[in-house]
Amino acid sequence: MIDLGPHETFILFAYLGVALVTFGLIGMVAIDARRQKARLAALEAMGVRRRSTGKGPKP
């Protein structure tokens, strides 16, 4: 690892914190997207349909 100078800890904590929140955000958005798709699929499997869907293609 390159030498980051006397304030290494601050730099490390800054990047670690941002990485944590960034990956957390990506995770939450991805999980939410997956959950909505699953719920929609479950409802469609049960036969509940929107008026406009009919036998249309799924997005």
Partner 1 sequence: MSLDTAKPMNWFDRLAHPGQFLIWSRRLIWPLAIITVLLFALGLWYAFFNSPEDYQMGDTVRIMYIHVPNAWLSQFCYVLMAMSAIGTLVWRHPMADVSMKAAAPLGAAFTAMALYTGALWGRPTWGTYWEWDGRMTSTLILLLMYLGLIALWRAFDDQLRAAKLIAVLTLVGAINIPVIKFSVDWWNTLHQPASVFRAGGPSMPPSIYIPLFVMTFAFTFLFLTLHLVSMRSEVLRRRVRTLERKQASGAAK
Q: List, as one string, the DSSP characters of 9-31.
A: HHHHHHHHHHHHHHHHHHHHHHH
In contact, 11 and 4? CB cutoff 8 Å = yes
Q: What span, in angstroms and rounded, lies between the C-alpha atoms of 26 and 40?
A: 21
Ranges within 3-32 binding partner 1 (CB under 8 A): 4-8, 10-11, 13-15, 17-18, 21-22, 25-26, 28-30, 32
Q: How far is the CB of 33 from partner 1 (least distance, A)?
A: 5
Phi, psi of 56 (to 5 degrees): -70, 170
Q: Does 37 bind partner 1 (CB under 8 A)?
A: yes
Binding residues (CB under 8 A) for partner 1: these are 2, 4-8, 10-11, 13-15, 17-18, 21-22, 25-26, 28-30, 32-33, 36-37, 39-40, 43, 46, 48-50, 52, 59
